[in-house]
Amino acid sequence: MHVVIGGCGRVGSALATNLEKLDHTVAVMDKNPAAFDNLKTSFSGKKVKGFVFDRDVLEEAGIKDAVAFAAVTSGDNSNIVSARVASEHYRVAKVVARIYDPRRAQVYQRLGIQTVATVRWATDQALRALLPDNAPVEHTIDNGEVVIVPVAAPGEIMGQPASALEVDGKRRVVAVSRFGVPRLPDGELTIQDGDIIHFSVPRAGASGLMEELKMIGSPG
């Protein structure tokens, strides 16, 4: 497939390299021609100088034939505008924009534009490092007050329905992975040996989750 990338900094150039390795055709745009020096010498795709939201520049990069577009410049406004042009005017199937302001990222996410919020990503990584080792975090929601935590099912809850592990306002079962295959729980799914249960919980409750689960199946 053909992919157009807006911005040829560290992220854009890395995307271009990896997409070419996957045998996709790639065009990279940047207003600064010196930015193309970030590309590997082996890069065989198209380099287009100009503003990433300019339609002439986009069309020179092959946006009309593109299946995907990534807006990864250093400016939120450029990324937002170019992403909307790609999505709404050219009807590109897959569009993603890097956004530094997490509040704006949420707005555009609701408009159907997939966003990668740099601040939110950094927060997520910091929380992964700060939370206790017995509560590894898969994902954080926005400011990190709610996290997704994977738990290897303890023996005490074998045979319990997944729904019995939930407590309103305290924890929800997001998915259950069995033999490496995740599934959404329904009313009939019971926990088996080897299951990995993915819970959404308040951050403060993550560290005590395992002990709470063991108490569910304990007598008395």
Instruction: For residue 97, give the nearest of 119, 62, 73, 63 by alpha carbon.
Output: 73
Gap between the Cα atoms of 45 and 190, Å rounded? 51
List per-residue pLDDT tens for the chain, 220 residues long: 999 999 999 889 988 988 998 889 999 999 999 999 999 999 999 999 999 999 999 999 999 999 999 999 989 899 999 999 999 999 999 898 888 877 777 677 666 777 776 666 555 555 555 554 455 666 777 666 788 888 888 888 899 999 989 999 899 999 998 877 888 988 889 999 888 899 999 887 787 888 888 888 665 5
Strand pairing class (68-71; 46-49): unpaired
Paired residues of 116 in beta bridges: 98
Gap between the Cα atoms of 63 and 176, Å rounded? 39
pTM for the model: 0.60
Instruction: For residue 209, give the nearest of 62, 60, 200 by alpha carbon.
Output: 200
| 2-117 is a CATH 3.40.50.720 domain | yes
Strand pairing class (196-202; 172-178): antiparallel
Gap between the Cα atoms of 209 and 93, Å rounded? 40
**Fold (topology level) of 124-217:** Alpha-Beta Plaits (3.30.70)
How do the domains of the chain map onto residue ranges?
A: 2-117, 124-217
